[in-house]
Amino acid sequence: MRRFLPIAACLLALAGHARAADEPAIVPSLIPQPASMQVGSGSFAVDANTTISAEGDAALRVAERFNGFLSAAGKTPLRVLARPVDEQEQGASAIRFRLDTSSGGRPEGYALDIDTDRIDLVAHDEAGLFYGAVTLWQLLTQGEAGRAVLPTLHIEDAPRFPWRGYMLDSARHFQSVAQVKKLLDTMALHKLNVFHWHLTDDQGWRIEIKRYPKLARIGSCRIPAGDAGVDAATGKPVRYCGWYTQDEIRDIVAYAAARHITVVPEIDLPGHATAAIAAYPRLGTEGRKIPVTAFRGIHSNLFNVEEGTFRFLDHVFTEVAQLFPGEYIHIGGDEAIKDQWKASKPVQAKIRKLGLKDETALQSWFIHRLETILQAHGKRLLGWDEILEGGLAPDATVMSWRGIEGGIEAAKQGHDVVMSPTSSMYLDYLQTDSPNEFPGRPAPRLIPMDKFYAFEPVPAQLDATQQKHVLGLQANMWTTDNRSFAGVEHNTFPRLLAVAETGWTPKERKDYASFLRRLPAWTHRYEALGVGYARTPFEVIADAALLPGPGDSPQGDALVTLANPLGYPIRYAIDGAGTDMPKLEYRKPLRIKLPARLRAVALAEGRIVHPVQRFDFSRTGLLARTDEQLQTCTADGPVLRMEDDGPATGVRALYNVAIMAPCWQWKDAPLQDIAAIEVRAGRLPYLFNQRAEEDAARKYLPAKSAHGELDVRLDSCDGETIATAPLPAEAGADGFATLRAPLARELDAPHSLCLRFSGDFRPRMWVLDRVTLSPTP
């Protein structure tokens, strides 16, 4: 380890690497935060003259990958010398990458020293050398084009957890090989090391199995519901297909391995089986031909428990095991609704023959059979926490998603655990209240950045021995609602940085305030890499409401509330068409005269984190609300931000919908001097499972006419009917219908409104796009 040089020594740095006296070194903005970092007072500049000495094959591989990441971020690669350098060459080779296998360092750990005359990166294994290079890459991408002035520092670093995971659902929606590789690159730069790949589900089978070609040819294709499933020109069905060939999978696995990422495939069993049964009906409990579904939600289709099914699974896992060299294969095991098993005479006979108590015990027996198959192929079984039910297979590892309770129970039983709870690690839940969020689940909860960051994978209920079974944590990107790769990136980044820091950084080193200060540097990296990260956490969100009374202007006054989802300070200006940087510090809601134009921006450490936004406020504009600006008025079932079913390609409208009892609420609507309510309504296919118990929970407002009505109630959904209008049989050619409903009486104060559409909303439902209050002429 080299000692820091005194500050005066920085003036004696090597030719081509000295910095100007007035050129400050960067302040490191590293995520994840290193385990230990001491920053000195000198500096070292990296520029086009800097070279890398890569000592040995492993160091050379890391240096080449490092240069690849520099190029991807728009930086100039450095010249690599594939050998140690002698004293005469020291001036030409200022960075040294080397392995020291005798050092006894921790797996994936490294030491990085930056002095005034050189940079040393040393690690015990190649993964550690790679992660040290990632740290250096992060430092260099804070600098200007072609040059970065780094502070002298010493880092000793290693990850807290061996499992730092990210799951991608390719079954619900398919991503290209190039898109998967892009995610792997970005994972590597976050120091994540497990890519959990969800490859089969009810909506698609995405992996080629040579012995059973119909799994890909039939099981990977479905007909989308609604307009997206029909060719507008011919009226014929349009199939949505996609699968990965075995050559493509080998390519992706090798690509991941080169970035020190292990790929864990998931073949979901015994539920989530519709696509497999569609390809081979004999696998199903009912033995009938079924299509691959376009519906979301939990399906009742299960694999049967015949010996032929286990032979099929053995053949499938033979090929899967050959494609994925990692330790684990994930077998799902979640959400296996037992209705079909309960109704099947052969299954019930099997339960009696095996002497099992019930269908839950049968699933445990099923999982044990799978573990035996996987062990024969040299693999360990990993499954969602439902595999605990009925008794856990001896060598199984649990991925706890229904909270952390399953993980606690598994660790107490001596099983390894990966923590991945819905409440803190699910990326398909929306991250802010912004109307600019992509499709996903906005309710009953958001999962903003601070909640991701606060998650602690090791429960206090576990003793020291049990805590060792917690391998780490994983964030899951389910794609039920995200048709586009842009949606995947938006929902994943930058929240994955919070997961990365928890997975890597010692618990005592985590600091959310520091994380927020370091976060903006990553937005620049994302932009340089072309990663479509979410801008919504960096936005200013403005909410405005008309104030009662005439106010100080002909249009009245409004109260404007500004917020930034990450809590960054906000500056604003109310100045019409002004273009300068807003200077007023936002402290409390603003009373403004209408009409008004407001500009606002959020700042981190005095630097803007999102372009200046402009908001135009007028009385007419504040008499309208989109569905994103309204609240749902029921606690019955989930709320989703859903895409329209057309057009087939391109941008689609989005709707916030409470799917079990659709209704929308406008709190404190300014109803004084309002004569009518106008609603723009869209129509969506009802893409949800219709199992009997779920159907019983749906709530319909009885229709009074052939096609139902728009129903508007005062103060609550059980309140006075204040307006109504009949619904048409169909939407217009643009997919929308505009309904105008006169108010039943005059109102002289604000009231809350509950807006619903009556009638059984299946197989298509009306959804609210926009509501406008029409003043009395």
pLDDT higher than threshold 50 for residue 1: no
pLDDT higher than threshold 50 for residue 630: yes
Mean of pLDDT values over 125-130: 98
pLDDT of residue 17: 47
DSSP state of 14: P
Long-range Cβ contacts of 62-71 (<8 Å, 24+ apart):
62/97, 62/126, 62/129, 62/130, 62/133, 63/97, 63/133, 65/130, 65/133, 65/258, 65/259, 66/97, 66/133, 66/136, 66/137, 69/134, 69/137, 69/185, 69/189, 70/137, 70/140, 70/141
pLDDT of residue 93: 61
Tell whether domain 539-619 is in CATH 2.60.40. yes
Q: Predicted confidence band at 647 (pLDDT cuts at 50, 70, 90)?
A: confident
The domain segmentation of the chain, as residue ranges, is 7-157, 163-536, 539-619, 624-775
Domains 7-157 and 539-619 share a fold: no
pLDDT of residue 85: 63
For residues 55 and 96, is the Cβ–Cβ distance under 8 A? yes
In whole angstroms, give the CA distance from residue 493 to residue 500: 11
pLDDT higher than threshold 60 for residue 6: no
The per-residue pLDDT for range 75-99, each reduced to its tens digit, is 999 999 987 766 555 555 699 999 9
Output Rg (C-alpha) for the chain, integer angstroms: 29
For residues 212 and 248, is the Cβ–Cβ distance under 8 A? no
Mean of pLDDT values over 694-723: 91
Left if phi > 0, otherwise alpha if psi is -120 to 50, otherwise beta: which for 378? left
The per-residue pLDDT for range 734-766, each reduced to its tens digit, is 889 999 999 999 998 999 999 999 998 788 999
pLDDT of residue 8: 30
163-536: CATH number: 3.20.20.80
The per-residue pLDDT for range 367-421, each reduced to its tens digit, is 999 999 999 999 999 999 999 987 887 789 999 999 999 999 999 999 999 999 9
Please give the CATH topology (third level) of the domain spanning 7-157.
Chitobiase; domain 2 (3.30.379)
The pTM (predicted TM-score) of the whole model is: 0.95
**Helix, strand, or coil here: 337?**
coil
Tokens of 350: 């099997």
Active site residues: 335
Q: Which of 39-53, 76-90, 95-109, 234-248 has the lowest mean pLDDT?
A: 76-90
pLDDT of residue 92: 53
Q: Give the residue among 765, 203, 291 at the shortest CA–CA distance from 480.
A: 203
Q: How crowded is residue 240: how many other Cβ atoms within 10 Å of its Cβ?
A: 19
pLDDT of residue 699: 85
Q: Considering the domain 624-775, what is its CATH architecture? A: Sandwich (2.60)
pLDDT of residue 10: 32
Tokens of 255: 């690509």
The per-residue pLDDT for range 518-563, each reduced to its tens digit, is 999 999 999 999 999 999 999 999 999 999 877 777 889 999 999 9
pLDDT of residue 160: 98
In whole angstroms, give the CA distance from residue 306 to residue 304: 6
